Chains A and B, each alone.
Chain A
Amino acid sequence: MPLPGGPLRPDPARRPAICTYHSRVPESIDRFFDRLPSLAPRILRGPTHGLMRIDLDVGHRTEHWLVAMGPGTAVVSRGNAEADAVWQSDMDLFADLVAGRSQGIAAVLRNDATISGELSLFLAFRRFFPEPAGAQDPRGVGRQSVHTGGGRR
């Protein structure tokens, strides 16, 4: 799968972030990261191992999160460190992802986001994103078709 992105290289110009502008991060994004540890036992069920960094641009600034993923566990911290995989995008796009309004792989395909490093880590991470609002269970759709005579050609 072609996921655009530069190679993983530590950037010497970047120092660990000091979160003085923390308030500019949308609450939904903070909430998303807060919930990862409790979701991990259900979401990260395979033998996933590695550190994923999320770089979100807002204005001229970049906010960083680190998510250390292991089987059934996710440990979240703020900061900029060398990671096995890096997601980079605008903060707004990420806000859409955590609200189920956007989808990560499509965003990468249109170059609104880039992933570098071990993409299998991102494929595991994407499972944390919620489904779109109003998404239907096929069982409900099927039964409705039977009852109402919908599902015609």
Chain B
Amino acid sequence: MKQLISILDGNTFVVSDGCGDIEESFTYPMGLFSFDTRFLSTWILTLDGARLHALSVDEETSYGTTYFLVPGEPSHYVDAKISVQRHRAINGSFEETLTVFNHNTDAVEVTVRVDVGADFADLFEIKNAQRKLGRATVDLDDGNLRFSYRRQKFHREVVIRSSTEAQVDERGMSFRARLEPHGEWQTRLRATARIIGANGRDFRETLPLGPDRPVPEIRDERREFLASAPLLRSDSEALSQAYQTSLRDLAALRYESITLGARLVAAGLPWFMTLFGRDSIFTCLQALPFMPAVVEPTIVMLAGLQGSRLDDFRDEEPGKILHELRYGELAGFEEQPHSPYYGSADSTPLFVILLDEYERWTGDVELVRRLEHPVRAALDWLDTFGNMLGTGYVYYQTRNPRTGLLNQCWKDSPDAISYHDGRLPSYPLGTCELQGYAYDAKIRGARLAREIWHDPAYADRLEREAGELKQRFNRDFWLADREYYALGLDRDGKPIDSLSSNIGHLLWSGIVDEDRAPAVVRHLLGSALFSGWGVRTLATTEGRYNPVGYHVGTVWPFDNSIIAWGLARYGFREEAGRIATGILAAAHCFNGRLPEAFAGFPRTQTNYPVEYPTACSPQAWSAGTPLLLLRVLLGLRPHEGHLIIDPDVPDGMGRIELLDIPGRWGTIDALGRSRDRIGLEQSMTRYAQP
């Protein structure tokens, strides 16, 4: 597979090959994308008709890259008489500066050409190889190249301009460049993507943040945003590298929320550059101690789009929190249900959990007061529409058999939920972690009701219901002979008896009976689930286990961060440290950037984490993973207005200092070090230094 390079700012991004070219690909979407539409599907640079090859690529920032190119095949590099520097940036538009250098002692003339094409594909059309129903046109106007696409009133266009005179045709732009001896020639190309709304104007012109951000502005905003995050000093290179990469990736994945004039975090490149209920909530939970500013707009946005009616196409119900919001053609014309789509059974309890966690850190009681009704509606959903069979458990079954999701938990691929023998269950069904989240949502909702809404009767009721749910759950989901919780209950209330990573989320929720926790932990760290890098989604002992199966054997960093948090909650700090160490070691192999998932092969077998073939990267909840692991290692826990710091740093990691952790306490520093020789020596060395 060719190396792919991505740059992004918010939900506008470019994916190209290693030379910076964009061409049709069925395996991975290349192009310039914005708001779920591909605005450039062809962008190929040639010199005198020949493609170029990269000597090197400098991925200097997430929004800018420079390619150093020469004509000819790799074996002919040494004699290159001409070279090209191709610098590009995303700044609302897509801007590329081409500089051609003549290394000859004679003047030369070359034809520089950029082939350009725009297919305006909706991301879902690329995924499903669908055909477009609207009409596309190309115009040459005033030396510019304009591609337009219309379907009824839906209108997108992209205009390509050059800073120097070009010969423009419908398939690109050509330049005749004359280069003096050791001279250079330059042009700047700019592709502006427009989403045409009322009165022929781009709707983003009306946004508080505006469509265009010059590069210096992006740089300053990013710098300021990153400077507000706590400063990490650590002896662990893996941790430091992962921390810095995570902060940068999360900063880059923020995009502007149109309603709020604030930035939300998109879920992941390239398929998920949009608002997801579950992903954004988990990312916020991970990032809360480090960048609380991204949390409030996410909560407000999810509350604003809360379900208000029954709608089978969208799997919408009153009180439900959305699964996914899309902006493209297929959502608009209702060929896909994402306007928004509500097919997720966990985003609703997770919404309550996030709001409570947010208030514990920030003390923002005003937001909790404002959102009292959405939170009550979310809690009501658990007992009404979510409680599909009236059994007291959250179950799911799509009412949209054509484009709805079969599985509405985080493992949402069609084969993700299976019995031990590999059979797939019928619907409806309820997975175990949904019950854990429901339990936690009720406990946390009770705190909000008692302390902020001053409704002790409601708080008592929620706590009573949570207690009953915990009791019921420990009766019905526990597999006594195998000593773990079933992955779920099927339509008939019988256990879906696979051993899965989901049991780690139960620890995080607190629904696990104290005396059963040791058995759960033994399974999580046992060889069937733990690969050495992390906990697999599905144990090797299960019928459908596949080390490269999306949700049936791969290791998901985000999943592991929640599991580590759960282990710490039940006091299994050493085990949490083992998971943190494994995942951070994997991150180091990926240069600090954890992918969405990697293969479940045993660590002893591969010595290197094998990346899942089509995993998304950067992905928000993978970027959030090192942050949550850091929180777990330092034992950070807000409690009654102050921050408890209770570090337990694994052997070999040395010293960790996290400075200026923001919260209701102002800012505070946390220090921890491992108890082994490395930790001691390193800290002594530090103390010895002036």
- Which residues of A approach B to under 8 Å, CB–CB? 1-7, 43, 45-47, 88, 103, 105-112, 114, 116, 118-120, 123-124, 126-127, 129-132, 134-139, 141-143, 145-146, 149, 151-153
Asked whether A1 lies within 8 Å of B257 as measured between CB atoms, the reply is yes
Binary A-proximity of B364-385 (CB < 8 A = 1, otherwise 0): 0000001101100000000011
Assess whether B516 is interfacial by the CB under 8 Å rule. no
Asked whether A145 lies within 8 Å of B311 as measured between CB atoms, the reply is no
What would 6 A/B residue contacts be, using CB atoms closer than 8 Å?
Answer: A4-B203, A6-B199, A43-B308, A46-B303, A109-B339, A153-B424
Which residues of chain B from 378 to 403 have a CB within 8 Å of any chain A CB?
Answer: 384-385, 387-390, 395, 397, 399
Q: When A103-B339, A129-B309, A131-B309 are in contact, do A137 and B195 touch as well, CB less than 8 Å?
A: no
Q: Report the minimum CB–CB distance from A14 to chain B (whole Å).
A: 15
Q: How far is the CA of A138 from the CA of B310 in the complex (A)?
A: 9
Q: Which of A47, A123, A146 contacts B304 (CB 8 A)?
A: A123
Q: Which of A116, A129, A141 contacts B206 (CB 8 A)?
A: A116
Asked whether B332 lies within 8 Å of A137 as measured between CB atoms, the reply is no
Q: How far is the CA of A65 from the CA of B331 in the complex (A)?
A: 28
Q: Report the minimum CB–CB distance from B605 to chain A (whole Å).
A: 33
**Other than the known A1-B301, A3-B203, A112-B153, what 4 A-B pairs have Cβ atoms closer than 8 Å?**
A6-B197, A111-B152, A138-B399, A139-B388
Q: Which residues of A contact B389 (CB under 8 A)?
A: 139, 142-143, 146
Asked whether B406 lies within 8 Å of A131 as measured between CB atoms, the reply is no
Asked whether B258 lies within 8 Å of A2 as measured between CB atoms, the reply is yes
Asked whether B334 lies within 8 Å of A103 as measured between CB atoms, the reply is yes
Q: Which of B198, B304, B395, B397 contacts A88 (CB 8 A)?
A: B198
Q: When A110-B333, A142-B397, A145-B397 are in contact, do A137 and B385 touch as well, CB less than 8 Å?
A: yes
Q: Report the minimum CB–CB distance from B323 to chain A (whole Å).
A: 14
Closest residue of chain A to B377, judged by CB?
A: A45
The B interface is mostly helix, strand or loop, or mixed, namely loop
Q: Which residues of B contact A134 (CB under 8 A)?
A: 312
Assess whether B665 is interfacial by the CB under 8 Å rule. no
3 nearest A-B residue pairs (beta carbon): A4-B197, A110-B332, A109-B332
Binary A-proximity of B21-35 (CB < 8 A = 1, otherwise 0): 000000000000001
Q: How far is the CA of A92 from the CA of B126 in the complex (A)?
A: 33
Asked whether B203 lies within 8 Å of A2 as measured between CB atoms, the reply is yes
Assess whether B95 is interfacial by the CB under 8 Å rule. no
Binary A-proximity of B244-263 (CB < 8 A = 1, otherwise 0): 00000000000001111000
The A interface is mostly helix, strand or loop, or mixed, namely loop
Asked whether B388 lies within 8 Å of A138 as measured between CB atoms, the reply is yes
Q: Which residues of B contact A152 (CB under 8 A)?
A: 426-427
Q: Which of A43, A46, A119 contacts B259 (CB 8 A)?
A: A119
Q: Which residues of A contact B222 (CB under 8 A)?
A: none
Q: When A116-B198, A123-B304, A131-B309 are in contact, do A1 and B153 touch as well, CB less than 8 Å?
A: no
Asked whether B388 lies within 8 Å of A120 as measured between CB atoms, the reply is no
Q: Which residues of B contact A131 (CB under 8 A)?
A: 309-311
Q: Report the minimum CB–CB distance from B318 to chain A (whole Å).
A: 9
Asked whether B491 lies within 8 Å of A151 as measured between CB atoms, the reply is yes
Asked whether A136 lies within 8 Å of B312 as measured between CB atoms, the reply is yes
Q: Report the minimum CB–CB distance from B411 to chain A (whole Å).
A: 15
Q: Report the minimum CB–CB distance from A27 to chain B (whole Å).
A: 22
Assess whether B279 is interfacial by the CB under 8 Å rule. no
Q: Which residues of B contact A47 (CB under 8 A)?
A: 370
Asked whether B195 lies within 8 Å of A138 as measured between CB atoms, the reply is no
Q: Report the minimum CB–CB distance from B407 to chain A (whole Å).
A: 11
Asked whether A141 lies within 8 Å of B329 as measured between CB atoms, the reply is no
Asked whether B204 lies within 8 Å of A2 as measured between CB atoms, the reply is yes
Q: How far is the CA of A123 from the CA of B301 in the complex (A)?
A: 10
Q: When A120-B304, A138-B388 are in contact, do A106 and B331 touch as well, CB less than 8 Å?
A: yes
Q: Which residues of B contact A110 (CB under 8 A)?
A: 151-154, 329, 332-333
Q: Which residues of B contact A153 (CB under 8 A)?
A: 406, 414, 424, 426-427
Which residues of chain B from 319 to 333 have a CB within 8 Å of any chain A CB?
Answer: 325-329, 331-333
Which residues of chain B from 209 to 255 have a CB within 8 Å of any chain A CB?
Answer: none
Asked whether A109 lies within 8 Å of B331 as measured between CB atoms, the reply is yes
Which residues of chain B from 164 to 203 have a CB within 8 Å of any chain A CB?
Answer: 195-199, 201, 203
Q: How far is the CA of A4 from the CA of B327 in the complex (A)?
A: 11
Q: How far is the CA of A103 from the CA of B275 in the complex (A)?
A: 19
Asked whether B195 lies within 8 Å of A132 as measured between CB atoms, the reply is no
Asked whether B385 lies within 8 Å of A138 as measured between CB atoms, the reply is yes
Q: Which residues of B contact A88 (CB under 8 A)?
A: 198
Closest residue of chain B to A116, judged by CB?
A: B206
Q: How far is the CA of A7 from the CA of B203 in the complex (A)?
A: 9
Q: How far is the CA of A49 from the CA of B303 in the complex (A)?
A: 16
Interface core residue of A47, A107, A146, A152 (most chain B CB under 10 Å): A146
Asked whether A132 lies within 8 Å of B339 as measured between CB atoms, the reply is no
Q: Which residues of B contact A7 (CB under 8 A)?
A: 205-206
Q: Which residues of A contact B390 (CB under 8 A)?
A: 139, 143
Q: Which residues of A contact B426 (CB under 8 A)?
A: 145, 149, 151-153
